Structures are given as structure tokens and as C-alpha cells.
Amino acid sequence: MAGLTTALLMIFSPKPAYAMHISEGFLPIQWAIFWWLLALPFMIIGFRSLNRICQKNPELKLLLALAGAFGFVLSALKIPSVTGSSSHATGTGLGALLFGPTVMPVLGSLVLTFQAILLAHGGLTTLGANIFSMAIVGPWVAFITYLIFSQCHQQKLGIFFGAALGNLVTYLVTAAQLAIAFPAESGGIMSAFIKFESIFAFTQIPLAITEGLLTVLVWNWLQSYATDELQILKLLKTGV
């Protein structure tokens, strides 16, 4: 796992960018507080889930670290997009598929906090909004998509579309957050949403496809070199 993480860091070394989703101070204070309050219950559930996994199966800690590192590295590769924001892969789909979406608010918040402090990507006041889009909604969409395809015995397609759709939905939510905070003078929230999302689409669709492919590649690698951990996760999901 260490070798894969090192390779990813070398390929996707962080570069200066405009923002991590929504940048520091960009949201009006009332909306920054609103998204913090909305994300908080998911964070509490996430801490409990993460604590339960670490206590019952400490051998999975390295895999948790890999999921967090994957998210950090992929979300550090950015393309400037809407003013005050940027397009990039999220990397949260892998963790959601491995451990379920409930742990992702915690892993995602760590990724977002480190990037805000160390790389000036995003911000602390907008952290609640960014957690909600990237670490809550996106992972749930990725997980549900994966389950649907798995029921049809199409695991690899489920991994690809789960990661890709989780990425795209993250940006749908981000566009909605910006539209609610900054409605258009003509057309209001819906008009602003269409404007924000149409700008995001140019960069986000190819990034979502790329993230889907990378997630499949990492999953294949895990099947070869982390078979014991994947077996434990499979048993946990089936309740054995």
C-alpha cells in the first residue's frame, strides 16, 4: 500500500490552485453556519463508525489511511473553474466503496482541513459546505450506485460508475450551494445553478471519468495485494 501511495503522490503532486471547492470567506456567514450544522450529525455518526472499525479490526487502519491519502492526492489536482471554486477529482468514492459512506465525513473532513491549512485550498469557514458536498452526498451516491451494479453482478462497472457519479454529484451540490448563496438577479436560484453547473461541466465530466478509471485500477491493486483486508471488509458488510 505504501508503494501505491508514493506513486500517486509522485504522479499527482499538489500544485497551487484557486480553491478547494468553495474558498475561505466566499460564502455569506449565514450559509457557512447552515452547512456546518447540516454536516455535523453526519460527522458524529462518522466518528462512531470509524471508532468501531478501528477497535474491532485494527488491521484495517492502513487501508483507512490509504483511502484518506487517495482522497487527498486526487483532490489536490485542480483546474480553476467557477470564480471562488475549482474542479478536481474527489477521491472519496474509494473509501465509500471499501468502508461504506458513514466514515467518509471524517476522512473527507481531514482531507479538506489539511488542504485548507497547508495548501490554502478551501477554507475553515466553508468547511461545512465542502464536507457536505464531497464527503457526505458524493460518497452516498457512489455507494448506492455500487450496490445497484453489484446486485447485477457487475462489480467493476459499479466501482467505475460509483466513483464517477459520486464525483459529478459532488459538483451538482457545490453548484447548488453557490446558487443558493448567490442567486441571479434574473431567474434567481435556478438560473444561477444552471450557470454554475454549466461552467463546471466542461472540466468535471472528464475528471469524473478519470476518477472512475483510477478507482478501478486501485481496486484491482487491492485485490492483488490486500486480499486479507478485503476479505475482512466483505465479512463486515455481510454481518458474519
Average pLDDT over residues 97-104: 94
- Domains of the chain with bracketed CATH: 28-77+92-238 (1.10.1760.20)
E-strand stretches of the chain? 78-80, 86-88
Strand partners, 86: 80
The pLDDT, as a whole number, for residue 124 is 86
- Output Rg (C-alpha) for the chain, integer angstroms: 17
**8: pLDDT strictly greater than 50:** no
Q: Are 105 and 39 in contact (CB under 8 A)?
A: yes
8 A C-beta contact, residue 113 and residue 127: yes
Sign of torsion, CA 109 214 137 126?
Answer: positive
The band of 4, judged by pLDDT with boundaries at 50, 70 and 90, is very low
Query: How confident is residue 5, by pLDDT bands cut at 50, 70 and 90?
Result: very low
Quickly count: other Cβ atoms within 10 Å of residue 165's Cβ.
Answer: 20
Handedness of CA 183, 185, 191, 197 (dihedral sign): negative
- Higher per-residue confidence, 227 vs 96: 96
C-alpha–C-alpha distance, residues 111 and 46, integer Å: 14
Mean pLDDT, the chain, rounded, equals 84
Q: Give the integer Cα–Cα distance in Å for 228 and 157.
A: 23
Average pLDDT of the segment spanning 108-134: 87
In which band, very low, low, confident or very high, does the pLDDT at 79 lie, cut at 50, 70 and 90? low
The pLDDT value given to residue 6: 43
Residue 145, pLDDT above cutoff 70:
yes
pLDDT for 47-63, tens place per residue?
A: 999 999 999 999 999 99
Overall average pLDDT of the 177-190 stretch:
90
- In this predicted structure, what is the pLDDT of residue 20? 42
Q: What is the mean pLDDT of residues 117-133?
A: 85
Instruction: Kindly state the average pLDDT of the residues 103-114.
Output: 92
β-pairing verdict for 78-80 and 86-88:
antiparallel
Q: Tens digits of per-residue pLDDT, 193-209?
A: 988 887 777 778 888 99
Measured over the CA atoms of residue 137, residue 139, residue 142 and residue 143, the dihedral's sign is negative
Is 225 in contact with 107 (CB distance < 8 Å)?
Answer: no
Q: Is the pLDDT of residue 108 over 60?
A: yes
pTM: 0.84
Cα–Cα distance between 182 and 76 in angstroms, integer?
26
Residue 240 has pLDDT above 60, yes or no: no
Q: CA 87, 217, 213: angle at the middle one, nearest 5?
A: 40
Alpha-carbon span 150 to 97, nearest angstrom:
11
Res 39 pLDDT > 90: yes
